[in-house]
């Protein structure tokens, strides 16, 4: 046998420098040992063991780290050795040596090992070289193993029960899904779930898993979109192609062993990976249930999945999109609210009838039930009351940025001023003080107001200035409006906070229209522009109404749903060059707290109940800049943009405003042409005829606009709605022309054009009022023409691009 041993040792590279005599000498101390498959030659932590040279067979070097599974570090084939390192450092064995095959080894005990090193000290060097090489390899393998361990823990999520609401819909849908779940829990074989995005395929997979597997079994979710890059190599890896029983111990099936492997959008795997997955599923047999999901019609499956993979799935089930089972929407929505209320320890809010109708009218094509969940979660978090109304329901696509804009907040000084808010606060207080002083002056010293021209300036400058400024700078007047400042001051002290009646929200355009008509009519009929007392009463009445509404209802309900002045400048500002908008990607990916809507401790939320990612027009943004101060994510922008562009991009606008535009257009005829028949003292007959024509044309204007624009049931503005909004420049021009006549001194102002003729200098006088009328008319007509043309052009382009896709 000594010859045998010496012969075997002669083939070992480690001992290749020994002569035959030396090998014979060394072989004397070695003993033969044989081990079967699965035997452990050395155990990790074993204090005493020997040095081994593997002559035949194959062993695995296994390691177990605390709290982790046993992991294979590497394999040793015949000719390799093991046990030397712990003999060298005198510590217990760091790894386990496990036989993968029948093994024959030559064993040298610790004493013999020491003698060998004394006899041939250069062997130290060989061992140290080998140790270094092994350490490098082990490091690589261990870091790969660590990576896979991280993957494993990332994938083995079992807290899905908290992720899903567990609601399917109404009794009919719930019964059907329950029946399917029961069927799948009894059935054998893998499952394909089809359905649109957000229909609840993953939730269904989770509940199938719950019913089929043990509670602690892994539920591993991987995404088909990244499968090829991330997981392909983890489907099935064999160390040894000749021996497929040796499976790499970190493949996906190992990780999901005993549980479920859920592959989302399985059709997005490349055909090659699909084939590999099919082989892996067949090879791994029943190691875990595989559930694939995809957005496809059941009849279309053979087109998007290769036959080999298709055959792996014994069952297929299609989950219907939410728009095909709308009866489920109210039940689901209320169910989500109940669960949210329980989780947040709040009263369960209820959805108002109008809010429910709004939810029912939506098609949820973006995300089905997931989209509904987002809408409900958002409404729950932003609602301050137990009734969720129209104002808390935001859905559909978020606002899109149209064209190039310049964010003025990129200018640090302006940003600092707006963030601090002290300048705006100071301006508001100053304007409010001036307003109170003006009202007192008009009431108690009207003669001073008239003689100092203050009174004339109010009517002659303020009104025309509003009409002129708003189309360019938006609702900048609202930033400092004294009605709002005083109303806010009172509201902070007395506040009933009743929910806004839905009828007000739904028909606010009628409120604006009627109040606007009334105020203008009273103003003309009472000749208020020449009467300081009446003017003071009008201002006090508006302020009293604003305060009354502010005490009753939340936020600035007056500004959003009542104020005719706000309605006028809001409409004018739709095409303005100044806008407040949010970076929707930041809002959607970063924000869970919605401070722009709910506010912070120091600054109240949006007074107009706007949720910034959904704000896409100027109509209801009163430029208070609260959102700039409140947003913790720096998402809000104050942009400069092209004038008028918003009109041809209108989407989520209050479409009822077409009635208001029609009313404003209608009254221009009596306002601008009845003056010609006016005597110094307004006669009763004139008043009667004016009243008739004024209200008649106002109503006709509103009704015609309504008939043209209807039905405005869609969420996004139709072409007709946009065309009526495109008339805004004309409406404004008409109102400016009316106001220009009241600018103090304008009727007696003339511009002279002097030109030279053969007879000498000739002079041509142009009245300032006529010049103003002409300029404003031309501007109004040209801008309206351009806007209408652009609306039509853009719609045509959009339609043709839709028809080609």
In this complex, which beta carbon is closest to ligand SF4, that of residue 8 or of residue 484?
484
133-139: list long-range contacts, CB under 8 Å, 24+ apart.
134/74, 134/85, 137/74, 138/73, 138/74
Strand order in the sheet with 70-77: 40-42, 96-99, 58-64, 70-77
* Binding test (CB under 6 A) with ligand SF4, winner from 142, 443, 591, 792: 591
Using the contact rule CB under 6 A, the part of the chain among 436-444, 510-518, 626-634, 719-727 near ligand SF4 is 626-634
| 151: nearest Cα among 249, 274, 29, 11 | 249
CB 98 within 8 A of CB 38: yes
492-496: list long-range contacts, CB under 8 Å, 24+ apart.
494/551, 495/550, 495/551, 496/551, 496/552, 496/553
606 binds ligand SF4 (CB under 6 A): yes
- Closest approach of Cβ 418 to ligand SF4, in Å? 10
612 binds ligand SF4 (CB under 6 A): yes
- Rounded CA-CA distance 374/377 in Å is 5
- Tally the C-alpha atoms within 13 A of residue 238's C-alpha that lie toward its C-beta: 12
98 binds ligand SF4 (CB under 6 A): no
| 292: nearest Cα among 184, 193, 386, 430 | 193
Using the contact rule CB under 6 A, the part of the chain among 81-89, 631-639, 707-715, 749-757 near ligand SF4 is 631-639
- Listed in sequence order, the residues at least 6 apart from 70 whose beta carbon sits closer than 8 Å to its beta carbon are 62, 63, 64, 96
* Binding test (CB under 6 A) with ligand SF4, winner from 565, 659, 671, 717: 565
- Rounded CA-CA distance 63/273 in Å is 32
In this complex, which beta carbon is closest to ligand SF4, that of residue 177 or of residue 418?
418
566 binds ligand SF4 (CB under 6 A): yes
Q: Distance between the two ends of the chain, CA-based, in angstroms?
A: 83
* Binding test (CB under 6 A) with ligand SF4, winner from 623, 647, 667, 717: 623
Per-residue contact track with ligand SF4, 342 to 381, x per CB under 6 A?
----------------------------------------
- Closest approach of Cβ 484 to ligand SF4, in Å? 4
Phi, psi (rounded to 5 degrees) for 778: -60, -45
- Closest approach of Cβ 725 to ligand SF4, in Å? 19
In this complex, which beta carbon is closest to ligand SF4, that of residue 56 or of residue 381?
381
Please, what is the Cα angle at 335 between 333 and 336, to 5 degrees? 65
In this complex, which beta carbon is closest to ligand SF4, that of residue 416 or of residue 634?
634
In this complex, which beta carbon is closest to ligand SF4, that of residue 322 or of residue 478?
478
- Closest approach of Cβ 443 to ligand SF4, in Å? 20
Instruction: Put residue 403 in one of left, alpha, beta given phi > 0 → left and psi -120 to 50 → alpha.
Output: left
Taking the C-alpha atoms of 473, 479, 480 and 486 in order, what is their torsion angle to the nearest 10 degrees? 150
* Binding test (CB under 6 A) with ligand SF4, winner from 82, 395, 594, 690: 594
Q: Are strands 289-294 and 190-194 parallel, antiparallel or unpaired?
A: parallel
Using the contact rule CB under 6 A, the part of the chain among 213-221, 616-624, 673-681, 775-783 near ligand SF4 is 616-624
631 binds ligand SF4 (CB under 6 A): yes
Q: Count the residues of the shown chain that bind ligand SF4, applying the rule CB under 6 A.
A: 37
Using the contact rule CB under 6 A, the part of the chain among 236-244, 323-331, 559-567, 736-744 near ligand SF4 is 559-567
In this complex, which beta carbon is closest to ligand SF4, that of residue 563 or of residue 727?
563
* Binding test (CB under 6 A) with ligand SF4, winner from 276, 287, 622, 735: 622
- Listed in sequence order, the residues at least 6 apart from 490 whose beta carbon sits closer than 8 Å to its beta carbon are 547, 550, 551
CB 105 within 8 A of CB 52: yes
Using the contact rule CB under 6 A, the part of the chain among 35-43, 100-108, 584-592, 643-651 near ligand SF4 is 584-592
The rounded Cα 299 to chain-centroid distance in angstroms is 33
626 binds ligand SF4 (CB under 6 A): yes
CB 251 within 8 A of CB 237: yes
- Closest approach of Cβ 424 to ligand SF4, in Å? 11
483 binds ligand SF4 (CB under 6 A): yes
* Binding test (CB under 6 A) with ligand SF4, winner from 108, 255, 615, 658: 615
In this complex, which beta carbon is closest to ligand SF4, that of residue 94 or of residue 431?
431
CB 637 within 8 A of CB 583: yes
* Binding test (CB under 6 A) with ligand SF4, winner from 613, 662, 729, 780: 613
Under rule CB under 6 A, which residues in 124-163 are in contact with ligand SF4? Answer: none
Exposed, middle or buried, 232 (CB in 10 Å: 0-12/13-18/19+)? middle
488 binds ligand SF4 (CB under 6 A): no
430-433: list long-range contacts, CB under 8 Å, 24+ apart.
431/480, 431/481, 431/482, 431/485, 432/482, 432/485, 432/486, 432/489
* Binding test (CB under 6 A) with ligand SF4, winner from 596, 619, 659, 727: 596
484 binds ligand SF4 (CB under 6 A): yes
Instruction: Put residue 555 in one of left, alpha, beta given phi > 0 → left and psi -120 to 50 → alpha.
Output: left
580 binds ligand SF4 (CB under 6 A): yes
Q: Are strands 578-582 and 636-640 parallel, antiparallel or unpaired?
A: antiparallel
- Listed in sequence order, the residues at least 6 apart from 376 whose beta carbon sits closer than 8 Å to its beta carbon are 333, 336, 337, 340
117 binds ligand SF4 (CB under 6 A): no
559 binds ligand SF4 (CB under 6 A): yes
Using the contact rule CB under 6 A, the part of the chain among 251-259, 317-325, 498-506, 587-595 near ligand SF4 is 587-595
Residue for token digits 């908290």? Answer: 162
618 binds ligand SF4 (CB under 6 A): no
In this complex, which beta carbon is closest to ligand SF4, that of residue 252 or of residue 627?
627
- Rounded CA-CA distance 63/44 in Å is 7
- Closest approach of Cβ 596 to ligand SF4, in Å? 3
608 binds ligand SF4 (CB under 6 A): yes
- The kind and range of the H/E element at 762 are strand 760-767
* Binding test (CB under 6 A) with ligand SF4, winner from 205, 627, 772, 776: 627
654 binds ligand SF4 (CB under 6 A): no
Using the contact rule CB under 6 A, the part of the chain among 306-314, 625-633, 671-679, 738-746 near ligand SF4 is 625-633
In this complex, which beta carbon is closest to ligand SF4, that of residue 477 or of residue 712?
477
Residue for token digits 């609702």? Answer: 475
Residue 559: both structure tokens together: 């500004």
Using the contact rule CB under 6 A, the part of the chain among 115-123, 562-570, 669-677, 744-752 near ligand SF4 is 562-570
In this complex, which beta carbon is closest to ligand SF4, that of residue 13 or of residue 400?
400
- The kind and range of the H/E element at 387 are strand 387-388
State the greatest distance between any 2 C-alpha atoms of the chain, in Å, as a whole number.
Answer: 143
* Binding test (CB under 6 A) with ligand SF4, winner from 481, 577, 668, 730: 481
Q: What is the SS3 string spanning 437-488?
A: HHHHHHHHCHHHHHHCCHHHHHHHHHHHHHHHHHHHHCCHHHHHCHHHHHHH
Using the contact rule CB under 6 A, the part of the chain among 227-235, 604-612, 691-699, 722-730 near ligand SF4 is 604-612
Give the CB-nearest residue to ligand SF4: 566
Taken in order 360, 363, 369, 373, the sign of the CA dihedral is negative
Using the contact rule CB under 6 A, the part of the chain among 420-428, 617-625, 766-774, 780-788 near ligand SF4 is 617-625
- Closest approach of Cβ 397 to ligand SF4, in Å? 15
Please, what is the Cα angle at 691 between 686 and 696, to 5 degrees? 130
- Closest approach of Cβ 553 to ligand SF4, in Å? 13
Which residues form the interface with ligand SF4 (CB under 6 A)? 477-478, 481, 483-484, 546, 558-559, 563, 565-566, 580, 582, 586-587, 591, 594-596, 606-608, 610, 612-613, 615, 621-627, 631, 633, 635-636
């Amino acid at each position: 046998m000594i010859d045998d041993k010496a012969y075997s040792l002669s083939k070992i590279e480690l001992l290749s420098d020994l002569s035959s005599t030396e090998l014979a000498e060394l072989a004397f101390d070695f003993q033969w040992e044989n081990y079967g498959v699965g035997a452990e030659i050395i155990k990790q932590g074993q204090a005493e063991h020997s040095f081994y040279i593997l002559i035949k067979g194959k062993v695995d070097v296994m390691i177990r780290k605390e709290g982790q599974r046993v992991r294979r570090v590497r394999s040793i084939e015949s000719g390799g050795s093991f046990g030397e390192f712990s003999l060298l450092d005198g510590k217990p064995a760091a790894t386990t040596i496990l036989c993968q095959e029948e093994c024959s080894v030559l064993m040298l005990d610790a004493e013999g090992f020491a003698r060998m090193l004394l006899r041939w000290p250069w062997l130290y060097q060989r061992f140290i070289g080998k140790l270094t090489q092994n350490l490098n390899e082990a490091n690589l393998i261990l870091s790969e193993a660590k990576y896979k361990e991280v993957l494993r823990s990332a994938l083995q999520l079992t807290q899905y029960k908290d992720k899903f609401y567990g609601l399917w819909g109404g009794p009919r849908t719930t019964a059907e899904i329950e029946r399917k779940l029961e069927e799948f829990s009894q059935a054998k074989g893998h499952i394909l779930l089809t359905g649109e995005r957000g229909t609840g395929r993953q939730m269904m997979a989770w509940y199938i898993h719950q019913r089929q597997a043990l509670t602690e079994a892994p539920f591993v979710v991987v995404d088909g979109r990244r499968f090829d890059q991330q997981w392909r190599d983890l489907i099935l890896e064999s160390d040894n192609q000749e021996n497929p029983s040796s499976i790499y111990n970190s493949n996906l099936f190992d990780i999901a062993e005993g549980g479920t492997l859920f592959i989302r959008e399985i059709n997005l795997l490349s055909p090659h990976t699909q084939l590999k997955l099919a082989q892996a599923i067949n090879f791994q047999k029943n190691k875990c249930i595989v559930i694939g999901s995809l957005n496809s019609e059941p009849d279309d499956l053979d087109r998007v999945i290769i036959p080999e993979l298709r055959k792996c799935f014994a069952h297929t089930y299609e989950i219907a999109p939410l728009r095909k089972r709308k009866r489920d929407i109210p039940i689901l929505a209320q169910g989500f609210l109940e669960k949210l209320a329980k989780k947040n320890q709040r009263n369960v809010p209820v959805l108002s009838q109008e809010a429910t109708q709004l939810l029912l009218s939506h098609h949820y094509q973006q995300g089905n039930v997931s989209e509904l969940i987002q809408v409900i979660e958002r409404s729950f978090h932003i609602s301050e009351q137990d009734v969720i109304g129209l104002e808390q329901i935001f859905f559909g696509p978020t606002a899109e940025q149209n064209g190039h804009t310049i964010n003025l907040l990129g200018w640090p000084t302006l940003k600092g001023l707006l963030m601090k808010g002290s300048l705006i606060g100071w301006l508001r207080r100053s304007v409010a003080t001036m307003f109170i002083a003006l009202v007192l002056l008009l009431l108690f010293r009207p003669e001073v107001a008239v003689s100092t021209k203050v009174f004339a300036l109010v009517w002659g400058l303020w009104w025309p200035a509003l009409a002129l400024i708003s189309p360019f700078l938006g609702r900048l007047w609202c930033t400092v409006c004294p009605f709002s400042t005083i109303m806010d001051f009172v509201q902070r002290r007395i506040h009933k906070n009743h929910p806004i009646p839905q009828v007000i929200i739904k028909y606010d355009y009628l409120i604006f229209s009627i109040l606007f008509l009334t105020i203008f009519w009273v103003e003309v009929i009472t000749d208020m522009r020449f009467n300081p007392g009446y003017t003071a009463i009008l201002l006090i009445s508006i302020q009293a109404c604003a305060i009354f509404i502010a005490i009753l209802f939340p936020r600035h309900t007056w500004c959003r749903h009542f104020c005719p002045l706000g309605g006028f400048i809001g409409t004018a500002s739709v095409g303005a060059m100044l806008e407040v908008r949010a970076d929707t990607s930041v809002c959607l990916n970063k924000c869970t707290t919605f401070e722009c809507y709910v506010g912070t401790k120091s600054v109240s939320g949006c007074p107009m109940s706007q949720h910034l990612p959904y704000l896409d027009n100027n109509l209801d943004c009163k430029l208070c800049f609260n959102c700039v101060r409140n947003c913790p994510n720096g998402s809000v922008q104050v942009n400069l943009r092209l004038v008028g562009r918003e009109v041809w991009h209108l989407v989520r606008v209050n479409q009822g405003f077409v009635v208001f535009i029609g009313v404003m257009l209608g009254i221009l005829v009596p306002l601008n042409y009845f003056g010609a028949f006016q005597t110094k003292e307004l006669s009763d007959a004139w008043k009667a005829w004016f009243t008739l024509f004024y209200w008649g044309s106002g109503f006709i204007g509103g009704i015609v606009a309504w008939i043209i624009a209807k039905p405005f049931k869609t969420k996004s503005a139709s072409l007709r709605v946009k065309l009526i909004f495109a008339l805004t420049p004309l409406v404004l021009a008409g109102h400016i022309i009316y106001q220009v006549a009241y600018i103090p001194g304008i009727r007696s102002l003339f511009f002279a054009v002097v030109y030279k003729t053969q007879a000498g200098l000739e002079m041509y006088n142009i009245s300032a009022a006529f010049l103003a009328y002409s300029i404003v008319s031309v501007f109004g007509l040209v801008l309206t023409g351009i806007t209408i043309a652009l609306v039509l052009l853009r719609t045509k382009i959009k339609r043709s691009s839709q028809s080609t896709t």
